[in-house]
């Protein structure tokens, strides 16, 4: 097994779990993971061995997720393409609980998809993946202050969308 193949085997689950916050469609998840590794392969000469590989890979994955949000926003079907039934492989005793979790996640993704792509990605990383703002700023290449301001503005835009769609706050 080659070195890059070992990297793929080691990190593909981590990337898929992170991308699951953006979509529950298995084909989209696989495409996003593959795109991340493709970009990593092409950009391997730019990686600095003195820095953690996973941080560099996560930054690439964040860019892929942001582009996914942009594409989904432009798609005429948008978030309606997210069909969680094509992704899940459940055991019967856990199916009801998972249905609620997937339904809630799908609803959150649908609402986030109404926002500009940068807002969608930022709020997904902050509230669904529960990453600290410092980590998010590093992934996007923004200053911490800029990230805080963007997060505040994104929350305000989300609040307006929620009210517009009948959610009580």
3-state secondary structure of 141: coil
Residue 132 confidence (pLDDT): 94
In a domain, 169, yes or no: no
Query: Taking a C-beta distance cutoff of 8 angstroms, is the pair 112, 123 a contact?
Result: yes
Tokens 């980590």 sit at which residue?
Answer: 135
Q: Are 36 and 15 in contact (CB under 8 A)?
A: yes
Q: What is the pLDDT of residue 11?
A: 92
pTM beyond 0.95: the answer is no
Residue 92 belongs to some domain of the structure = yes
- For residue 74, pLDDT beyond 80: no
Q: How far is CA 29 from CA 16, 25, 34, 46, 123, in A?
A: 6, 6, 9, 25, 19
Residue whose structure tokens are 């994955």: 61
By 3-state DSSP, what share of the chain in percent is helix, strand and coil, each rounded to 5? 75, 0, 25
Rounded to an integer, the average pLDDT of 2-6 is: 87
Among 71-75, 124-128, 134-138, which stretch is predicted with the lowest mean pLDDT?
71-75
Say how many domains are in the chain.
1
pLDDT tens digits, one per residue of 75-114: 534 444 444 444 444 444 555 455 555 567 777 778 888 8
**Span 119-136, average pLDDT:** 90
- Of the chain, the percentage scoring pLDDT greater than 90 comes to 32
Q: For residue range 39-53, list pLDDT tens digits in order.
A: 999 998 888 888 889
| Residue 16 DSSP symbol | H
Structural domain containing residue 14: 3-164
Could you tell me if residue 111 is inside a domain? yes
What is the per-residue burial (b if ≥16 Cβ within 10 Å, else e) of 114-134?
A: bbebbbbbbbbbbebbebebe
77 belongs to a structural domain: yes
Which bin fits 127, alpha (ψ -120 to 50), beta or left (φ > 0)?
Answer: alpha
Domain-located, residue 88? yes
pLDDT at 161 over 50: yes
User: DSSP code of 76?
Assistant: S
């Amino acid at each position: 097994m080659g070195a890059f193949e070992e990297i793929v085997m080691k990190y593909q689950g981590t990337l898929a779990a992170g991308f699951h916050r953006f979509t529950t469609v298995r084909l989209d998840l696989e495409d996003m993971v593959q795109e991340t590794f493709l970009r990593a392969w092409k950009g391997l000469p730019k990686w600095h061995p003195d820095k953690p590989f996973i941080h560099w890979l996560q930054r690439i994955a964040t860019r892929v997720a942001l582009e996914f949000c942009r594409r989904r926003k432009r798609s005429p079907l948008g978030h309606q393409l997210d069909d969680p039934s094509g992704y899940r492989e459940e055991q019967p005793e856990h199916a009801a609980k998972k249905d609620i979790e997937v339904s809630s996640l799908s609803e959150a993704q649908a609402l986030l998809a109404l926002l500009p792509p940068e807002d969608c990605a930022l709020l997904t990383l902050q509230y669904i993946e529960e990453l600290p703002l410092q980590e998010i700023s590093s992934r996007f290449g923004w200053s911490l202050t800029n990230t805080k301001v963007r997060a505040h503005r994104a929350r305000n835009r989300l609040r307006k969308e929620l009210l517009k769609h009948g959610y009580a706050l």
